[in-house]
Structures are given as structure tokens and as C-alpha cells.
Structure 1
Amino acid sequence: MTEMKFEDQFAPFGSVEPVAMTSFQKVVARRLTKSWTEIPHVTHHDSVDVTQLDAFRRSMPADTKVSPLIFLVRALAILLREFPAFNASLSDDGKTLFAKSYVNIGVAVDGPLGLLVPVLHNADTKDVGTLNAELAALSAQARDKGLPMSAMSGGCMTISSLGGIGGTGFSPIINQPEVAILGVTQTRMTPVWDGTAFQPRLMMPLSLSYDHRVINGADAARFVRRIGELLAAPAAL
């Protein structure tokens, strides 16, 4: 009996055209599969109030305005010091946790070559203006001709933002050997009860996927709450 080819299952419905995956797509597919099958993922969803952040950005001079994403990078850089379990990597045998002394934040960038993750090194030592300029340069390079591995290595935690597209939440896959990744979707003006009346507040949905072998649910919830507290005082960032 002749074994049926994969494409034969579509024949009754019409013709199909095989399109080979690029080498880069194959590498990404292998890494995502490895991460999803080896790490017990849990995703914590919450929304944080960024009304003050939006007002602060609007008050900035036009030549100094930065993306809201950069304030999120700064917040994570601070929190990786406060929550050291998030700034660690677990050995392949699951027996040793390696705590990192540095703070590097990766930011996923969508481009013609696919999803690339440039890394902002030593993000805890840089101000929002410096981080904004670095990310802009790396993003342009990623979309134009791609990035060398040196620009995508050494990340401690990654941000994946769909804020410019939409959505209310998703479950991002952890970028090994990191132990957490933060997903961001589109901010929305939402009525929030203040104890007396509903007030219009700009809310940012956050989705934190974490390795449950390293991070527990309570710390994940506290981590996201602290993001909200930091973003509520943008001048301090």
C-alpha cells in the first residue's frame, strides 16, 4: 500500500502550492517548540493604569518624546532588581538556577525577515532617551537588513508588544533561556470605579508568561502590580 503524501489530503478540495520555510523560520520554529514543550508556561493577565504616563508623554517637548514602550523597558529594568527570580535562568537539568548580575531587556520587532528580538544591554543604567534611541536604531536595522546575533544575545527578559495592532491579551512563549516574557496589547480608555463614580482611565493590558518551575503565581501577580505602580509615576522613571 502506497503511503499517502501530506499534500494528498487537500487534493479533493483543490490544488495547493508548496512553499518552503526559510532557514530563519525553521530556527524560530525549533526554538518555540523547544520552549513550549520544556517549560511549564503560565500566563497572568492584568491591566495597569497609564493615564498619568500618557499625560506625562504629551507634556514632553516634541523633540524629546519617547515611545510608551520605553517606559515599560525602564520599569522592567527596575523590577528585575526587585524580583531576582525573574532575572535568572534554569539549567537544562532543572537543578540549578543562575542569578544574573546584569539587566538586559529584549524587545520583539516584527520585520520582513520575521520576528527579531534586539536586546537593550544594561537597561538599568540608561535613561529613557538613551534607550529610545538605541531601540529605534536596532529596530530600523532589524527591518532593513536584519541583526547580528550579538545584538540579540544576552537578554534577561523580553517584551512582545502588539499595542500598535490591537488585541486584549495573549500568551507569549518564553524566550529561552529566560524565565519570563511580558506581552503588551492596545491601551484603551476604560471607565474605572474610584469608590464614588466611574472615571475615564487609560488602561494597558499586560500578559506575563512565566516558567512555573521558577516563579510562582503570587510573585507574578505582584510583579505586574509593581509595573502599574512604576508607570503611574513616569517622571521617576
Structure 2
Amino acid sequence: MGEHLIKMPDVGEGIAEAELVEWHVKVGDLVREDAVLAAVMTDKATVEIPSPVDGEILWLGAEIGDVVAIGSPLIRLKVASEGGDPSGGSEEKEAAPPVRAEDIEAQADGAVKVSDAIVEQQGEQQRRNAPPRPVEVPQAPAVRLHQPPVARAEGEGPVASPAVRLRARDAGIDLRQVPGSGPAGRITHEDLDAFLTHGREPARAPGLAQNTSVEHIKVIGLRRKIAEKMAIAKSRIPHITYVEEVDVTALEDLRAALNADKRADRPKLTLLPFLMRAMVKAIADQPHLNAVYDDEAGVVHQHGGVHIGIATQTGSGLMVPVVKHVEARDLWGCATELNRLAESAKAGLAAREELMGSTITITSLGAIGGVVTTPVINYPEVAIIGVNKIMVRPVWDGTTFIPRKMMNLSSSFDHRIIDGWDAAVFVQRIKALLETPAMIFVEA
């Protein structure tokens, strides 16, 4: 038998380390060639590590959540082939330690103890074979059972001995509040002790109990990546958040009409494709908002192509798939690509390239989007547009209040690059396009 050492592979992304997010095996498992042994994560992309040989798992070199350098020992297997580890990872077995005199004495002493135990065991066997002697069982003293407290009728005075009443008066206790467990509800010294210990706490409803458990959950994988990115964004970017309400009544009417008359090969339209097209038009007027800021080099990279990240909640956590070149897509093209990326992300099948390269981001919680949010910028971008839920509100039209479908846009900007005035102009331009949706389709 030999051993085979598997090292952390180079996954081809130019990285020096990867985080272990899942073990598919444990020590003692028998695995076949190409069986998945573990999964590692690199920049939101999960890579599975297969076994190159058949064998038995002898050793696992990391724990879930550990960051392992490329080329570090990861798994050791026992393989059927002779000649040791073909990968060069086999190690010579450790030589047996020299026998010391004190070890021999300890072994001899242990042998004597074993012999004594055997003699004792034989004596015990003989005692068991002897006829039993009568055993006197002492009579147990009478035990006074503590009866449950007896509830008193309303207005009924407490029953207690003078000694109990004196203790209660000295302690400042109203005996009417103390339940009694003695005959006819008499209050005993034990009842008074229990009240002094617990009686001042409010009574709990039946079935309610304190839960003092603490569960320790290690932050690993995608959740750790999200935590790291959010920490960077909030610590390095001075956010300015601008909130504006938008009347989307006309937009919702248009969306309903387009969905009712759509072709079978077209997806159902949500509000987001309209917002994406409105952002393209607003960016044409203010291209410096479609950018990423390299704050270490002090360089703003302003992009011509509009690549909109869509913050998407998945079973594993928040992911941001990117709709590339929105400026070259029509309304239906935006909707089609948006649906494809969202389904891919939620199924955990999004490619690494589909999660990179955004120049501006949309975040939306849909129907539960709240009234106002304070979005965190998707570092290193300089702007993020937040969509809140649509609600019917009364709006004054100059004569009377009328019901309108209203929605707030909550948008954040990197105040190092974007001034408050520019942020307001950008949001107001988007507002005007959404409130007059026909303008979205008018070419400049």
C-alpha cells in the first residue's frame, strides 16, 4: 500500500489562495477516481476538487472556512499501488522510539496490577457463589411531601402561623401575595422562602421558558466575501444618499399593456428593464457616474459601455450578476438577459465572468422594498440606484387628492467623486423618464 498527497490546485484565476467552503468526504471514506472531495471559493466562484486516484481518506489538512495557499497539502489518501506517493508527497514512517528502563518498570508494575486484579476477581467470584446472608433494610423515615400551592379565593385572608407572619412582617412581604402549600392553603416557612427567592418576579405564562442557548456560526464562503466587501465599501467610501419619490402610474399602465400584448417568445416585463433603459439615457448626460474609482491609484475609470449589476438574493447570499452593454439592448433584450442571469445566480450556476465588470448597480427588494433604504455602493463603483416598493398614495393635483402609484428611489453616491448636485440631477433625470415613459423610447 502507498500514500497519495493531494495539494491545493491552481484553479487558473491567478490567485495565491482559496477558501475551503465544503468537505464532501471525511477520514476513513473510500473514494473513487474523479469523485468530488472538496469545494473551494475564489472571488465568489466555487470550484470543486476531484480525486485523481482511488483510495481511502487518511488525513484532511484544513477546516471549513480556512484560507489555504495554492500548493499546500490538502488531502492524504491510502492507495493500492506500491512505491509510495507518486506525487512525491509520501513521507517515511516515523521510527519506533527507544525503549527506556522506566517504561519497562511501568510495564512490570502494570503486570503486577493486572495479576492483583485477577486474584481480586477470583475472590469476588467465590463470594458470589456463597449462600446469601439476610440483609436488614432500615426503615425509611417518613417524608412530608411538598404540596403544590393552593390558590385562595378572592378576598380570602392568608392562613399562617405567628412565626411565619413575623418573618413576613420583618421582610416587608404582604402574605396575601404568597401562595400557601400547607393544609387549607396555610403558608409555611418553605413557601415564604420560595417567595423570597422567586416570588418578586412576574409569573410566566404556561409553556414559556427562557432560552439561554448560543449558537456559534462561522462566517465562511459567500457570506464572508459579502462581509468583506461591505466592510470595504462602508469604510472607504463616504456615502451620500438621495431619496426622491416617483409617480409610476403611467409606467405601470404601459407595462401592463405591453405584457398583455407580448409575444410568446418574450418574457414578462417588470419595472427593472424600464429603469435600466432610463439609466442609460441619464448616463448619456452624466457619463462620469458610469465609472469605477481606483482609490489607491487615484484614478477614475469612466466606461463607455453601461454594465448594470443587479443585486440578487440567492439561497447562498447576495450576488450581483451583471447585464453587460445595456446601451445596446432594447427593453425586451434587457428583460431577457435579466431573467437569465437571475435564474442562473439563484441556481448557483452563474459563471465568474457574469459576476464581474459592473459599472453601476441596481438594488431592489421588490414588493417588500420598504419606503426608504440606504444602499451600500458596490465597491469600486461610484453610484447605486435603490428601488423601493410601489404604493398607492393620495396626490394633490391642484384641485383635489387623487390616488397615484408612487415609488421612492433611494440612491447612494461616492461623495469623493460625485457632488450632491450631480447626484440630484441624475436622479431627477431618471424620475422624469419614468414618469413620462414614452420618453424612454425616444432616440436622442
- TM value normalised by structure 2: 0.49
In the TM superposition, residue 94 of structure 1 has moved relative to its aligned partner by 6.5
Distance in 2 between the 1:167 and 1:146 partners?
Answer: 30
Distance in 1 between the 2:240 and 2:252 partners?
Answer: 30
**How far does the alpha carbon of each residue in 1:83-122 deviate from its partner, in whole angstroms, 9 at most, with x for none?**
1121122222363322212111111111111111111111
In the TM superposition, residue 177 of structure 1 has moved relative to its aligned partner by 1.3
Q: Please identify which structure carries the higher helix content.
A: 1
In the TM superposition, residue 233 of structure 1 has moved relative to its aligned partner by 2.7
User: Which residue is equivalent to 2:157?
Assistant: none
Distance in 1 between the 2:307 and 2:375 partners?
Answer: 19
User: Which residue is equivalent to 2:190?
Assistant: none
Tell me whether 1:188 sits opposite 2:386 in the alignment: no
Provide the alpha-carbon RMSD of the alignment. Answer: 1.7
Tell me whether 1:50 sits opposite 2:233 in the alignment: no
Distance in 1 between the 2:348 and 2:296 partners?
Answer: 37
Q: Which runs of 5+ in 1 are unaligned?
A: 1-11
> Aligned to 2:368, which of 165, 168, 174?
165
Matches within 5 A, 1:63-212: 63=263, 64=266, 65-93=268-296, 95-212=298-415
User: Which residue is equivalent to 1:9?
Assistant: none
**How far does the alpha carbon of each residue in 1:178-202 deviate from its partner, in whole angstroms, 9 at most, with x for none?**
0011111111111112222222211
SS of equivalent to 1:112: coil
Distance in 2 between the 1:107 and 1:40 partners?
Answer: 22
Q: Partner amino acid for 2:437?
A: P
User: Which residue is equivalent to 1:224?
Assistant: 427
Equivalent pair of 2:308/2:323 in contact (CA under 8 Å): yes
Q: Partner amino acid for 2:372?
A: G
Q: Partner amino acid for 1:82?
A: D
SS of equivalent to 2:353: helix
Which of 92-101 and 119-128 deviates more? 92-101
Distance in 2 between the 1:189 and 1:214 partners?
Answer: 36
User: Which residue is equivalent to 2:239?
Assistant: 41
1:153–1:114 CA distance, 2 compared to 1 (3 A): same
Tell me whether 1:25 sits opposite 2:231 in the alignment: no
SS of equivalent to 1:186: strand
User: How many equivalent residue pairs?
Assistant: 226
Equivalent pair of 2:247/2:407 in contact (CA under 8 Å): yes
Q: Partner amino acid for 2:214?
A: V
Equivalent pair of 1:191/1:198 in contact (CA under 8 Å): yes
The structure having more radius of gyration, on CA atoms, is: 2
Identity of aligned residues (%): 38
**How far does the alpha carbon of each residue in 1:12-48 deviate from its partner, in whole angstroms, 9 at most, with x for none?**
9722121222311111111110010000011111111
Distance in 2 between the 1:55 and 1:28 partners?
Answer: 37
In the TM superposition, residue 80 of structure 1 has moved relative to its aligned partner by 1.7
Distance in 2 between the 1:54 and 1:206 partners?
Answer: 16
1:104–1:200 CA distance, 2 compared to 1 (3 A): same
User: Which residue is equivalent to 1:15?
Assistant: 213
**How far does the alpha carbon of each residue in 1:114-153 deviate from its partner, in whole angstroms, 9 at most, with x for none?**
1111111110111111110111111111111242220011
In the TM superposition, residue 220 of structure 1 has moved relative to its aligned partner by 1.2
User: Which residue is equivalent to 1:7?
Assistant: none
Equivalent pair of 2:294/2:301 in contact (CA under 8 Å): yes
Distance in 1 between the 2:300 and 2:317 partners?
Answer: 31
Equivalent pair of 1:119/1:155 in contact (CA under 8 Å): yes
SS of equivalent to 1:106: strand
